[in-house]
Amino acid sequence: SQWIEVSNINSDGHPVRTYQVCQVRREDQNNWLRAEWIPKRQGRRIYVEIKFSIRECRDIPNVVSCKETFDLYYFESDYPDATDDRPAWNDRTYTKVDRIAADGRFSHVNTEIINTEVRDIGPIFKRGFYLAFQDSGACISLLSVRVYYKVCPTITEHYAIFNKTVTGPSITSLVQAEGQCIPNSEPVGRQPTVQCTGTGEWTLFTGSCRCLPGYEPQRTVAQRCDGKWRSFLAQG
């Protein structure tokens, strides 16, 4: 592989490491770069955010073969057991995610063009995976790669608490979460539920809770059921 690791200083003065490749004066390029094993944790559908820059082909002198794209792949594995030779460096072994193109390309005139692309992969069935990047003859700098999964955050709605819930294996998945009534309250009929969408948003609330006798709802800052205080005047 012709990828090289380069140390730079970013605009904030902090050291950063990037990976670069620029083999545009040779034909038939096939340069692979593989990240370390990434545990999927609770995630089932994984998101990959890539920050990168690509040089404009017409800005490079003496070009033999030049492209302005690269390919993103992944390989599932239960353990961090990859070697220099395994998994094999080819598109039959890895699963292709997408061909990544740059919205903006830098040149010797304009060097401050950074692209950000997000792709999703999955569902992931094994304990983790490897990401791989294939260059076929572009002038690329990989600046950062962020890997994450989405959740629906903890909320209180209809006097019930719905805990943080990991999204499902596909964009269209709905994951049902059951709510727990807040202190000093009880469910109205069945236990309240809600659906967590594939984009990390709550939808389709059903059921609710109500304050127990002797408590009243407070809606000002947070949903609470506070006790009622009564004063009695002694008669004599």
Cβ atoms within 10 Å, residue 22? 19
The fold for domain 151-227 equals: Immunoglobulin-like (2.60.40)
Domain-wise residue ranges, the chain: 4-148, 151-227
4-148: CATH number: 2.60.120.260
65 or 96, greater pLDDT? 96
Instruction: Output the pLDDT for position 231.
Output: 36
In this predicted structure, the answer to whether residue 100 has a pLDDT above a threshold of 70 is yes
Instruction: Output the pLDDT for position 14.
Output: 83
Instruction: Output the pLDDT for position 188.
Output: 94
Instruction: Output the pLDDT for position 234.
Output: 38
What is the Cα–Cα distance from 60 to 10, expressed in whole angstroms? Answer: 24
Instruction: Output the pLDDT for position 233.
Output: 39
**Tokens 């903006």 sit at which residue?**
104
In this predicted structure, the answer to whether residue 169 has a pLDDT above a threshold of 80 is yes
In this predicted structure, the answer to whether residue 137 has a pLDDT above a threshold of 80 is yes
Instruction: Output the pLDDT for position 219.
Output: 66
3-state helix, strand, coil in the chain (%, to 5): 0, 50, 50
Q: Summarize the confidence of residues 178-197 as an average pLDDT.
A: 95
Identity of residue 146: R
Going by C-beta distance under 8 Å and a sequence separation of 6 or more, which residues neighbour residue 186?
209, 210, 212
62 or 173, greater pLDDT? 173
Contact 203, 195 (CB under 8 A): yes
Closest to 123 measured CA to CA, from 91, 169, 161, 89: 169
**Backbone dihedral angles phi then psi of residue 166, each to the nearest 5 degrees:** -75, 140
In this predicted structure, the answer to whether residue 221 has a pLDDT above a threshold of 70 is no
Length of the chain: 236
Strand 160-162 and strand 180-181: the pairing is antiparallel
Closest to 37 measured CA to CA, from 125, 134, 131: 131
62 or 47, greater pLDDT? 47
Percentage of the chain exceeding pLDDT 90: 73
> CA torsion angle for 4, 9, 10, 11 (degrees, to 10)?
-150
What is the Cα–Cα distance from 107 to 21, expressed in whole angstroms? Answer: 16
Say what the pTM is: 0.86
Instruction: Output the pLDDT for position 232.
Output: 39
